[in-house]
Amino acid sequence: MDDHRMILRFEGVSYRYPGGDAWVLNGLHLSVDPGESVLVAGASGSGKSTLCRACIGLIPHFHHGEWVGRVFVDGLDTRDHPVYQLSLHAGLVFQNTDAQLFNQTVESELTYGLESLGLEPHEIEQRLAWASKMANLDDLMDRPPDSLSGGEKQRVALGAILALRPRLLLLDEPFTHLDSEGTEELRRILRMMKAEGIALIVVEHRLHEIIHDVDRIVILHQGKIVGDGSPHQVLAGKISDYGLNLPPLVRLFQDAGLNQTPVSVDEAIAAIKELRALNLLPLSSAHFLERAQKSPHEVSSRISRPIVEAEDVCFSYGSRSVLRNINFKLLRGECAALVGRNGAGKTTLIKQLNGLLKPHRGLVKILGQDTRRRSVSELSRHVGFVWQNPNDQLFQPTVRDEVLTGPKALHAYDSSWCDELFKRFGLAPLLDRSPFTLSEGQKKRVSFAAALAVKPELIVLDEPTAGQDEPFRRELAKFITELRREEGTIVLVTHDLEFAAEHANRWLALAEGQIVADGPPEILMADPAVMAKAGLRPTHRFQLIQALGDIAEEKA
Amino acid sequence: MVFVATFLMMVFHHWISLTSSLGLLLTMVFFLRLGLPWLNLLKGLGFAALTFFIIAWFAFDLLTGIVSGLRLLSIGTVFFLFFQTTPPEALSNALLKMGVPYPFAFVLTASMQFVPVFIRRTRNILDAQRSRGIPIEGGLNLLIHLPALAGPLLIQAFKFADELAEAMEARGFGAPGRRFRDEPRFRWIDGMAVAISLIVLAVVFLIVPRGE
């Protein structure tokens, strides 16, 4: 095929970072047609981000290291063209939005690239208007980027790249920090990009967020492409070893022993109807429905003293009221998920649980102790936190010291428990290494062990699945189950509703600082008013179960 | 661009021994516009000025102490006014006009841009460390447990710098032939500001020798 027809072409590319011994890309061949949309999936460390960097010429121009093969972007060999020239052909939206926004206003953010390249003034104005419309930024033009919400910041980062009018747009894990509404909005923009004829490469662990909109999936494993084709083709193949977080419906069908690979609820319903019509869904049908409908949670029947009691909690930052009349109790062995939009007050609420913030009105009691009368250190003996970013806490020379920091500060060191934790999180071989040399997934494990080392009664997990691959999710699920069996109480803050529906027995839905609903996930998801108020959408799995229920009723 | 005037005042006024009363006057004038934020500033600056005053008092005499304290206060206020009234963009544009190369001017404004980002990160780190029982709450405890804050903060700063460099590179930083959408221009009002500053300066220089 003619080189110039391809928007992107990798010819036997291998690459390793300076000082690294493993090849991050390993003999990669790939071509992408103009206007094609491709989802690149793979476990952590499979080379996804490196691939993105190679597409826009940051490798080999910015990152040196060993490089074999050739990459063509829009027909240009990336070795022969500097990054700024390539930026008119391929643009990348990075993971960390903060580091991409370095101008004073959204407007200057969008024009930065155009000014750098010295475009004509009328051209700049034209492209600015277009990018602003595409990324839906017209109302934000004069705002400083720092004052924006996470979703808005990401749209600005996207707009800044779009202004360069690349024919290939790459996004590195764009959905990680978005809530349901932000996800919808981004998907809408990406569909518009596709309609404009821009080729898309989206890197994502969580396949179901985008799989419905792409033409093709490429699976990376240890720097090699191990799967490439249409979503259905790829999902039907043997891909269980590659650490992918499969779409929940595909997983459900697999569990029920069905071969179909539905990527949307409609497809799943159609598939089931077809099987029924052909009478091919005999025994497994009942089984399938039963399995899907059964609530995975046994209701805690124990009556115990509550671990957490929040009574009429109000809290405000200055004049902005963030929490309003929050009331709830948590019992032993419960796993409660806090769900809601970004900015609904979820983080402010969990900070009340160990006294980092104290209620301005009302009170929070942890094991019967009023948080206003206890210091954070006293409370942290009973409340363990695993924050979203493990880099916020690592500072010790070795993993062992890191995990034991809490127990030593709180004089609560139990050596057999800590050994058990090292084993549980697979840290035993890493104990003498510096935490800074670990992978992000390993760091996350260290922070889990560190939080659990003092045997807290309550453990708070802040977005535990964000940016994590399937193996980690599975470990996390196992860990939550174990902890609940040991009568631990868990509070989960998350946008990952699939995970929250599967592992929490209770959802607290927050909207504008108030709890708008409190109950089992199935009950909340069945109430459209509540879901709309909290800005949530029911999980695919739940939508399917509901639809199947409706079909059954029609028949009856 | 009022900033040229402010800039000149800032540079020259603190060489004049009798500025203290003058600086106070200046404060009063601008006080009308930015009262509340200035009071906030005073919380920190007032303490510094007081310390400075006491040290100077014991080291030299009371008069030197008062003069030094007041001088610090007025310089602080001038700086405060400068940063309150001048958007970083105007500052970098002016530097460019003065012939400072673009990368340097950019670094100056960009680093101001990231102050809130790093304040947020510092807060996150403090929260994370406090919630595992490290009582890093300020005062002496902050000093004792400084590594628990400084370690993660430094690591994150390095990583951030790397990511920022990549993002800038990808948007054409350093490409030849940069064009500015709003070309900074030296207008008559800026000329006036410079002229007034120079006159004030000259007058002050003429008066001072007589005063001493």
Q: Which position has the token pair 């806490």?
A: A393
Summarised one tens digit per residue, pLDDT across range B133-182 is: 998 877 788 888 888 999 999 999 999 999 999 999 999 988 888 887 76
**Of residues B127, B171, B179, nearest to A356 (C-beta):** B127
Instruction: Quote the tokens at residue A285.
Output: 């049908």
Average pLDDT along chain A: 90
**Of residues A58, A118, A406, nearest to B166 (C-beta):** A58
A199 phi and psi angles, rounded to 5 deg: -75, 140
pLDDT of residue A288: 65
Angle A244-A249-A251 from CA coordinates, rounded to 5°: 50
- Euclidean distance between the first and the last CA atom of chain B, given in angstroms as a whole number: 35
Give B114's contacts in chain A (Cβ within 8 Å). 102
Q: Which residues of chain A have pLDDT under 70?
A: 1-4, 280-303, 555-556
Give the residue on B whose Cα is nearest the Cα of A55: B170
Interchain contact, B134 vs A103, CB within 8 Å: no
Give the residue on B whose Cα is nearest the Cα of A436: B155
B180 phi and psi angles, rounded to 5 deg: -105, 135
The Cα A457–Cα A461 span in angstroms is 13
The Cα A524–Cα A515 span in angstroms is 12
A317 phi and psi angles, rounded to 5 deg: -95, 110
pLDDT of residue A4: 56
Burial of A157 (0-12, 13-18, 19+ CB in 10 A): buried
The Cα B74–Cα A535 span in angstroms is 51
Give A409's contacts in chain B (Cβ within 8 Å). 132-135
Give A146's contacts in chain B (Cβ within 8 Å). 113, 116-117
Cβ count near A147 (within 10 Å): 11
Interchain contact, A99 vs B163, CB within 8 Å: yes
Read off the pTM: 0.86
**Of residues B130, B163, B175, nearest to A356 (C-beta):** B130
pLDDT of residue B140: 80
Cα distance from A395 to chain B (closest Cα, Å)? 5
Give the residue on A whose Cα is nearest the Cα of B122: A392
Give A168's contacts in chain B (Cβ within 8 Å). none
Q: Which residues of chain B have pLDDT under 50?
A: 1-15, 17-18, 25, 210-212
pLDDT of residue B22: 52
Of how many residues is chain B composed? 212
The Cα B144–Cα B133 span in angstroms is 14
Angle B184-A162-B164 from CA coordinates, rounded to 5°: 70
Nearest CA among B44, B79, B50, B43 for reference residue B66: B50
pLDDT of residue B31: 60
The Cα A82–Cα A67 span in angstroms is 16
Instruction: Quote the tokens at residue A458.
Output: 């309550």
Burial of A495 (0-12, 13-18, 19+ CB in 10 A): buried
Q: How far is CA B20 from the centre of its chain?
A: 20
Of how many residues is chain A composed? 556
- Cβ neighbors of B80 (< 8 A, separation 6 or more) are B34, B37, B38, B41, B45
**Of residues B133, B164, B175, nearest to A406 (C-beta):** B133
> Which domains, from first to last, does chain A contain?
3-243 (3.40.50.300), 253-294+546-555 (no CATH), 308-542 (3.40.50.300)
Q: Which position has the token pair 């549980």?
A: A424
**Of residues A94, A354, A436, nearest to B155 (C-beta):** A436
The Cα B56–Cα A88 span in angstroms is 60
pLDDT of residue A195: 95
Q: How far is CA A361 from the centre of its chain?
A: 34
CB contacts < 8 Å between A and B, how many? 160
The Cα A212–Cα A207 span in angstroms is 9
Cα distance from B41 to chain A (closest Cα, Å)? 18
B197 phi and psi angles, rounded to 5 deg: -60, -45
Cross-strand partners of B44: none
3-state DSSP call for residue A40? strand
Reported ipTM exceeds the 0.85 cut: yes
